[in-house]
Structure 1
Amino acid sequence: MKAISYARYGGPEVLEYGEVPDPRVGPDSVLVQVRAAGVNPVDWQCREGRLDALLTPVFPVVPGWDVAGVVVRPGAAVTEFGAGDEVIGYCREDFLSRGTFAEYVAAPVRALARKPRTVSFEEAAGLPLTGLTALQVLTRSLQVKRGETVLVHAAAGGVGSIAVQLARHLGARVLGTASAHHHAYVRGLGGEPVAYGEGLAERVRGLAPEGVDAVFDTVGGETLKVSANLLAPEGRLTSIADPEAVAYGGRYAFVRPDPRDLGHLTDLVEQGVVSVHVSRTYPLERTADAQRESQEGRTRGKIVVTVGPDRR
């Protein structure tokens, strides 16, 4: 099959488009024909070796964790899905090797849910990692409640935009940091936009004089430090970008595959509660360009790689 792979850590130039062996389908997996794969910052971070202490690479690595596609063949023990089913998945394993930037992926059943019927494969491919991250942080780590005020950083980005929508669905007031040209987009999601940069703390305090009840940090560094000082007395802080959140009395969160959570997100998409904005798509052979754009960090919503029908 055709796929993107890399045989060593490095920049986008290490990504190669070409033939790789077809994936083997284990008893608890299904073979999925990939129609689209979401691009996430973690993809290029893995490619550069930044997660080497956490995830062992088995070179050559096929990158990518998000997928939307069609089941070709279920594994011997699988009863949840059959051939022809349209699915989405967050296909992360505890090592790097068998990713989704490929014509096919052997996806564990624990990583899959049915695809939302109301959206395209491209939109669906942008949901798994971002949606699971937002849902798990808001409901389990931050435990956001109706009537609370939540500060979401990078509110126009992939995770941030879903977090704004979910927090509003939970009944919270949402303040979302974003560049000025993204403010109308954040308002459209249901958030109150706040400009980045110097004076951020003052702008947030102007909107929430008593402090915010919860902070969803997707940036880390100085933003994390500022955020800790904006919390109300019983406020909670969670970061998905910086483990130093613990030093400020907060939590560091790493998303995990969960088919029930993913199924819940599918329901919310079909109900019109959550939408995925796809800013740009790239064909599979241009995955390196997609990762370059992702690494620039100015994307509104999601970048998605598209994969054509079976070409073998």
Structure 2
Amino acid sequence: MRAIEFSEYGPPSVLHVAEVEEPQAGPGEIRIAVRASGISSGETYIRSGRLRELVPVTFPYRTGFDAAGVVDQVRGGVTGVRVGDEVFGMTSTTARAANADFAVLTGWAPKPPTWTWEEAGGAAGSVETSTRVLDRLAVKEGQTVLVQGAAGAVGTVAIQLAAARGARVIGTASERNHDFLRELGAEPASYGEGLIDRVRALVPGGVDAVFDCAGGSLPDLIAIAGDAARVVTIADFDAAAHGVHMSHSAPAEETGTSLGAGADSLAFHGLETAVGLAAEGRLHVPVAAAFPLEEAAAAHELSETRHARGKIVLLH
């Protein structure tokens, strides 16, 4: 089968399509024939070597951790799914390798019929991450949440999941994306210098929680929240120096001492919540662009611009 991998750190051009053996599902797992899979900014950092001190890599490294497709293997201990079902989900944090013709999933849910394959292929990672952080922040009805970097793959989903919990959502993005954020259910604010004053103008009483999807602004975000404990980041590797929790799901052996071993539990329960919201028309997965599997390098190039509005996916 075809799989995207790289055998050395470097620019997107180090990515290539390799012919490899098909993976086999183990106990408690399923395998899918992949129709679409996601690209994540985190993996562009890994590929470039930016995280080489934090995330050890054994070459060749196969990319991708969320995908959607048709079930073709169901192993022992699995119930509620059959060969031929359409699902979306995630690989294990150690195996990854979802950017391939076949992928083994450890967490999954039925593909909502209202979602295209492109939407489903890029959904699971954003849903799981958003659910994990919103759970840690204990976001609930009546609260106000600030999502920093709200127009990206995770931010766009976080807005909708927070709104579904009954929260008021403020989302930061460039002005060109403000109407887009309003469509998703957020009140927009421009990021950058003056952010504290702009948020306070919208929410004089302050916010209850901050979900940082962008990185680089923790002092301002702490000031907005009033307490570092009310801020969670998925993008700022200096989080510990500010007393902020950085949420990740990588196992201890992957994270090294700089990130620490404090991985959060995977929030796979969010996938079922997403299915219900999608059925009600309350959760959409904005897709910034879709590339053929063979053009994974171009997909990584777009991701590295940090200007993609929504999720970038590969079509198989």
Structure 2 matches for 1:50-129, cutoff 5 A?
50-53=50-53, 55-94=55-94, 98-108=96-106, 111-129=107-125
What residue in structure 2 maps to residue 20 of structure 1?
Answer: 20
Distance change >3 Å, CA 200–CA 216, structure 1 → 2: same
Structure 2 unmatched ranges of 5 or more = 250-264
Distance change >3 Å, CA 107–CA 147, structure 1 → 2: closer
Q: Does 1:298 align with 2:294?
A: no
Secondary structure of 2:58's aligned partner:
strand
Deviations 1:122-174 (A, max 9, x none): 11112111111111211x21111222221111111111111111111111111
Which amino acid letter does the alignment assign opposite residue 113 of structure 1?
A: A
Which amino acid letter does the alignment assign opposite residue 233 of structure 2?
A: S
Cα distance in 2, alignment partners of residues 176 and 301 from structure 1: 14
Cα distance in 2, alignment partners of residues 233 and 227 from structure 1: 9
Structure 2 matches for 1:1-312, cutoff 5 A?
1-53=1-53, 55-94=55-94, 98-108=96-106, 111-138=107-134, 140-221=135-216, 223-232=217-226, 236-255=230-249, 257-307=266-316
| Structure showing the higher strand proportion among its residues | 1
Distance change >3 Å, CA 36–CA 203, structure 1 → 2: same
Secondary structure of 1:57's aligned partner:
coil
Cα distance in 2, alignment partners of residues 287 and 191 from structure 1: 31
Structure 1 unmatched ranges of 5 or more = 308-312
Cα distance in 2, alignment partners of residues 241 and 130 from structure 1: 13
Which amino acid letter does the alignment assign opposite residue 71 of structure 2?
A: V
Structure 1 stretch displaced more, 174-183 or 46-55: 46-55
What residue in structure 2 maps to residue 310 of structure 1?
Answer: none
Distance change >3 Å, CA 210–CA 235, structure 1 → 2: farther
Secondary structure of 1:241's aligned partner:
coil
Question: Offset of 1:214 from its aligned partner?
Answer: 0.9
Cα distance in 2, alignment partners of residues 35 and 152 from structure 1: 30
Cα distance in 2, alignment partners of residues 76 and 112 from structure 1: 15
Secondary structure of 2:238's aligned partner:
helix
Cα distance in 2, alignment partners of residues 277 and 207 from structure 1: 26
**How high is the sequence identity, in percent, across the aligned residues?**
41
Which amino acid letter does the alignment assign opposite residue 283 of structure 1?
A: P
Which amino acid letter does the alignment assign opposite residue 130 of structure 1?
A: S
Distance change >3 Å, CA 53–CA 114, structure 1 → 2: farther
Kept after mapping to 2: 8 A contact 1:154/1:177: yes
Deviations 1:224-246 (A, max 9, x none): 11111112479711111124334
Which amino acid letter does the alignment assign opposite residue 301 of structure 1?
A: G
Question: Offset of 1:213 from its aligned partner?
Answer: 1.3
Which amino acid letter does the alignment assign opposite residue 185 of structure 2?
A: G
Question: Offset of 1:50 from its aligned partner?
Answer: 3.9
Kept after mapping to 1: 8 A contact 2:132/2:267: no
Question: Offset of 1:53 from its aligned partner?
Answer: 4.8
Kept after mapping to 2: 8 A contact 1:212/1:235: no
Deviations 1:82-135 (A, max 9, x none): 2101111121323xx551111111223xx2222122211111112111111111
Structure 1 stretch displaced more, 227-236 or 275-284: 227-236
Poorly superposed stretches of 4+, deviation over 3 Å: 49-56, 76-80, 232-235, 243-250, 255-259
Question: Offset of 1:299 from its aligned partner?
Answer: 0.9
Cα distance in 1, alignment partners of residues 96 and 183 from structure 2: 37
Cα distance in 1, alignment partners of residues 219 and 227 from structure 2: 16
Distance change >3 Å, CA 144–CA 31, structure 1 → 2: closer
Cα distance in 1, alignment partners of residues 238 and 58 from structure 2: 29
Q: TM-score, normalised by structure 1?
A: 0.90
Cα distance in 1, alignment partners of residues 154 and 268 from structure 2: 18
Kept after mapping to 2: 8 A contact 1:30/1:106: yes
Question: Offset of 1:76 from its aligned partner?
Answer: 4.4
Kept after mapping to 1: 8 A contact 2:229/2:244: no
Cα distance in 1, alignment partners of residues 140 and 80 from structure 2: 33
Kept after mapping to 2: 8 A contact 1:237/1:249: no
Distance change >3 Å, CA 292–CA 129, structure 1 → 2: same
Which amino acid letter does the alignment assign opposite residue 106 of structure 1?
A: V
